[in-house]
Structure 1
Amino acid sequence: MASTFLQLFMLITILVSCSLIKAELPTPVDAKTARKLLAELTVKADSNTPAYDRAKFGKSWITTVLDRDGKNVKTDPKTCNPISGTWISPYDEPSAETNNASKLDIDHVVPLKEAWVSGAKDWDDDQRIIFANDLKRPQLVAVSDSQNRKKGSKADVTGYLPPRASFVCTYVRAWVHVKHHYGLTIDAAEEDTLKTELAKC
């Protein structure tokens, strides 16, 4: 169970971020740096023992990310829930624009289950909660619910890349950035895909 201190810290951060965070997805490392970081990652087969448990990653930041990623977003000052705004999913091709926040999901660029099988299963709950709610790294982004469901909780870069070709470079750079920051592993097929896509950046 997460410590009382961490839970309090996360609550305070959410309340502050409702009014202060007004930015896009944090910029990932550039392609040259991503290739360097990729070479430093440990290549190892995924392991789902013990079995993935979503509850061990805590709750989500949906209202904060919707506020950050939208345009002209107005929020309820008490709940931080978006009242109105415009969102464009960076994954979709053709472009998917909506004024309805219920049509959006918050995607973890590196999915929680992918993180679990590549090392997060060995973390304590506090570290998993920090990972799942990381607004400093390029890990959380508002996307169309259809693309988020297509990607799923496990898909790594061998199973899913954004249909919008112009965003793929950003996506794989973000993937390497996050995995390297948290010391997560990659499997051999994942490494090959990342090398291929980063070479195109």
Structure 2
Amino acid sequence: MSRVYARRLAYTAALAALASATTLLTAPAASAAPPTPISAATARTYLGQLTVKAEGSSTGYSRDKFPHWITQSGSCNTREVVLKRDGTNVQQDSSCAAVSGSWYSPYDGATWTAASDVDIDHVIPLAEAWRSGAGSWSTSSRQAFANDLTRPQLIAVTDNVNQAKGDKDPAEWLPPRSSYNCTYARMWVHVKHHWNLSVDSAEKSALQSVLNGC
């Protein structure tokens, strides 16, 4: 092999390596998502295993009994972790606050570029959980539930949509973007099953209807 040919090979390899590195630096980050919920088939099975009973009372309920948002690491609390996870190209400052990025809300299909327009929804609302069994839990258990990053319990969505949902169950509210309802029902059953929360009859019927169409 001549020296000139060898130099050309080395030069070509160097250019390829540089192009690859540039691609890695400039490629947009993939949009993250909550943990994948159980399949529709598994959700139907799990739904049949949930205790069906009349919804309990809200007496004694307070959001303060579900401590959140707790610190996850360094200066990052649960909200900031979810904003980073569910957003695209999210930049955080030294306090872990999201200062730029974009967030796609699967509930309504809107995209936001200000973290202040985004709420972190508890898929199973805290008050709903209280009425479904969490009222008898310890504060530490309620804290773990309110900050659960392992199950699909937390998701970044449009703030107004989250506020419209409030503490309603699927018999009373489903995401306005109906194509997401199957995923939402799978998430709902996944979380309720893991945390051994009950369902009322109307809630179960609504979930069955959605899951049967998945």
Q: TM-score, normalised by structure 2?
A: 0.80
1:49 CA displacement: 5.5
Counterpart residue number, 1:187: 200
- Kept in 2, the 8 Å contact 1:50–1:121? The answer is no
The one of 174, 186, 195 aligned to 2:187 = 174
1:64 CA displacement: 1.1
- Kept in 2, the 8 Å contact 1:87–1:97? The answer is yes
Counterpart residue number, 2:68: 59
Larger radius of gyration between Structure 1 and Structure 2: 2
- Asked if 1:134 corresponds to 2:148, the answer is yes
Counterpart residue number, 1:104: 118
Question: CA–CA distance in 1 between the matches of 2:95 and 2:65?
Answer: 24
Question: CA–CA distance in 2 between the matches of 1:23 and 1:79?
Answer: 21
Question: CA–CA distance in 2 between the matches of 1:49 and 1:85?
Answer: 37
Tell me the amino acid that sits aligned with residue 44 of structure 1: K
Alignment root-mean-square deviation, CA: 1.1
What's the CA shift string for 1:144-182, capped at 9, x where partnerless?
011001001x20001110011111100000000000000
Counterpart residue number, 1:165: 178
- Asked if 1:89 corresponds to 2:105, the answer is yes
Question: CA–CA distance in 2 between the matches of 1:138 and 1:59?
Answer: 16
Tell me the amino acid that sits aligned with residue 209 of structure 2: T
Question: CA–CA distance in 1 between the matches of 2:32 and 2:113?
Answer: 18
- Kept in 2, the 8 Å contact 1:75–1:83? The answer is yes
1:79 CA displacement: 1.5
Provide the secondary structure at the position in 2 that maps to 1:85: strand
Using the aligned pairs only, state the percent identity.
Answer: 52
The one of 51, 72, 79 aligned to 2:95 = 79
Question: CA–CA distance in 1 between the matches of 2:161 and 2:42?
Answer: 28
1:50 CA displacement: 3.7
The one of 143, 158, 180 aligned to 2:157 = 143
Unaligned regions of 5+ residues in structure 2, if any?
Answer: 1-30, 70-77
- Asked if 1:196 corresponds to 2:212, the answer is no
In the alignment of these two chains, the number of paired residues is 176
1:63 CA displacement: 1.1
Q: TM-score, normalised by structure 1?
A: 0.85
Question: CA–CA distance in 2 between the matches of 1:183 and 1:72?
Answer: 36
Question: CA–CA distance in 2 between the matches of 1:200 and 1:115?
Answer: 26
Provide the secondary structure at the position in 2 that maps to 1:84: strand
1:80 CA displacement: 1.1
Unaligned regions of 5+ residues in structure 1, if any?
Answer: 1-21
Moved over 3 A (4+): none
1:97 CA displacement: 0.8
